[in-house]
Structure 1
Amino acid sequence: MLWLPVLAIGFTVLQVLVLRVVDPPFSTVMALRQIEAWTGGEDDFVLYHQWRDLDRIAPSLAVSVIAAEDQNFARHRGFDLEAIERARAHNARGRSTRGASTISQQTAKNLFLWSGRSWVRKGLEAWYTVLIELLWPKTRILEVYLNVAEFGDGIYGAQAAARAHFGKDAAQLSRAQSARLAAVLPSPRRYNAAHPGPYVQRRAQWIERNARQIGGEAYLDTLR
Structure 2
Amino acid sequence: MARQKTSPTSRSPQKPGKPPRRSLLRRLLLWCLALVLLLLLLPYLLIPLYKLPEIRPVSTLMLAETLSGRAYERQWVGFDDIAPVLVQSVMMSEDGQYCAHSGVDWEALNLVIDDALEGEVTRGASTIPMQTAKNLFLPSTRSVLRKALEIPIAMWMDVVWSKRRLMEIYLNIAEWAPGIYGIEAASQAYFGVPAAKLSARQAALLAVTLPNPIKRNAANPSRGMTRLAGVIEKRASQSGAYIKCLYD
Place the TM-score, normalised by the shorter chain, in its bin.
0.7 to 0.9
Alpha-carbon RMSD across the aligned residues, in angstroms, is 2.4
For 1:16, give the aligned amino acid: I
Q: 1:141 to 1:25 in 2, by over 3 A?
A: closer
Which residue of structure 1 lines up, in the alignment, with residue 143 of structure 2? 118
The 5 Å alignment of 1:56-135 reads 56-88=81-113, 92=118, 94=120, 96-135=121-160
Q: Which runs of 5+ in 2 are unaligned?
A: 1-29
**How many Å apart are 1:11 and its aligned residue?**
3.9
Q: 1:208 to 1:88 in 2, by over 3 A?
A: farther
More helix by share: 1
Task: Report the more deviating stretch, 122-131 or 135-144.
Answer: 122-131
Q: Paired residue for 2:178, among 137, 153, 156? A: 153
Q: Which runs of 5+ in 1 are unaligned?
A: 39-44
Which residue of structure 2 lines up, in the alignment, with residue 13 of structure 1? 44
Contact 2:57 2:169 in 1 (8 A): no
Higher RCO, 1 or 2 (CA under 8 Å, sep at least 6)? 1
Which residue of structure 2 lines up, in the alignment, with residue 221 of structure 1? 244
TM-score scaled by structure 1?
0.85
Which residue of structure 2 lines up, in the alignment, with residue 173 of structure 1? 198
Contact 1:73 1:103 in 2 (8 A): yes
Distance across 2 between alignment mates of 1:88 and 1:199? 28
Distance across 1 between alignment mates of 2:65 and 2:41? 28
For 1:64, give the aligned amino acid: S
Higher-Rg member (1/2): 2
Which residue of structure 1 lines up, in the alignment, with residue 58 of structure 2? 26
For 2:182, give the aligned amino acid: G
Instruction: Give the count of matched residue pairs.
Output: 213
Distance across 2 between alignment mates of 1:143 and 1:98? 26
Which residue of structure 2 lines up, in the alignment, with residue 205 of structure 1? 230
Contact 1:16 1:135 in 2 (8 A): yes
For 1:221, give the aligned amino acid: K
Distance across 1 between alignment mates of 2:209 and 2:199? 16
For 1:220, give the aligned amino acid: I
Distance across 1 between alignment mates of 2:159 and 2:98? 14
Task: Report the more deviating stretch, 24-33 or 52-61.
Answer: 24-33
Task: Report the more deviating stretch, 10-19 or 177-186.
Answer: 10-19
Q: Identity of paired residues, percent?
A: 41
Distance across 2 between alignment mates of 1:129 and 1:104? 5
Listed one character per residue, the Cα deviations across residues 150-192 of structure 1 (whole Å, up to 9, x for unaligned) are 1111111100100000011111101110000001111010010
Q: 1:99 to 1:10 in 2, by over 3 A?
A: closer
Q: 1:13 to 1:84 in 2, by over 3 A?
A: closer
